[in-house]
């Protein structure tokens, strides 16, 4: 029964791939399902205005992969990076130990729990908020035919903001918990 509760590498990799895949899959689905429909609607709108669609309008496709490469890579990398900081398997094996919790030293005194576990808890809630925001934003823009590269840049910014708030807010919250227990800093 203990083996079921212990985090494994296979579970970590499966979860990481599953959670990061929504970013490139959303682009691919938009590129192949929604972008042609948007192009057709734009041509119909131009035809109603009396403008005949030319080859020049068809050549300039704003949904090419070259326009999306860096935003997709940034959003995927930040999603994966923040997730690995919060996953119990990586915390247990110390992959990120000393990266932020020792550098920022916001926790002050030693407590009963290791700093990396406490730090991972605050990072997880920041990551959870950012991933929910990411799902919502990409789905909303997918449905409105407006999934541009800036959507993935906003997603990346949300992950960076979640990281910054978790680092700052985590130490502040921990100080309040320790102050209630009578410990001093």
DSSP secondary structure letter of residue 52 = P
pLDDT score of 103: 44
58-95 pLDDT, tens digit per residue, is 666 777 889 999 999 999 999 998 888 888 788 778 78
H/E element holding 176? helix 149-180
pLDDT at position 135 is 95
pLDDT tens digits along 105-159: 444 555 555 555 666 777 788 888 999 999 999 999 999 999 999 999 999 999 9
Mark 124-154 as b/e (b = at least 16 C-beta within 10 Å): bbbbebbbebbeebbeebbeeeebebebbeb
* Cα–Cα dist 134/22, whole Å: 9
pLDDT at 185: 45
For the four alpha carbons of 164, 170, 171 and 173, in that order, the dihedral sign comes to positive
Q: CA-CA distance, 157 to 134, in Å (whole number)?
A: 10
Cα 80 to Cα 22: distance, rounded to the nearest angstrom: 12
Pull the structure tokens for residue 154. 């906003």
171 pLDDT higher than 80: no
Q: Cα–Cα distance between 111 and 175 in angstroms, integer?
A: 11
């Amino acid at each position: 029964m203990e083996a079921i509760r212990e985090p494994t590498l296979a579970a970590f990799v499966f979860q990481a791939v599953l959670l990061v895949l929504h970013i490139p899959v959303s682009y691919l689905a938009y590129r192949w399902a929604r972008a042609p429909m948007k192009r057709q609607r734009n041509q119909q709108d131009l035809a109603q205005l009396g403008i005949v669609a030319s080859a020049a309008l068809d050549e300039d496709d704003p949904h090419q992969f070259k326009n999306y490469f860096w935003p997709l890579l940034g959003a995927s990398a930040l999603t994966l990076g923040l997730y690995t900081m919060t996953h119990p398997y990586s915390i247990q094996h110390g992959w990120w130990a000393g990266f932020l919790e020792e550098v920022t030293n916001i926790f002050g005194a030693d407590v009963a729990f290791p700093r990396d576990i406490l730090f991972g808890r605050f990072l997880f809630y920041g990551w959870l908020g950012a991933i929910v925001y990411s799902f919502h934003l990409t789905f909303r823009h997918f449905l409105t035919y407006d999934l541009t590269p800036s959507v993935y840049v906003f997603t990346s910014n949300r992950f960076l903001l979640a990281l910054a708030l978790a680092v700052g807010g985590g130490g502040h919250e921990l100080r309040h918990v320790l102050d209630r227990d009578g410990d001093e800093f």
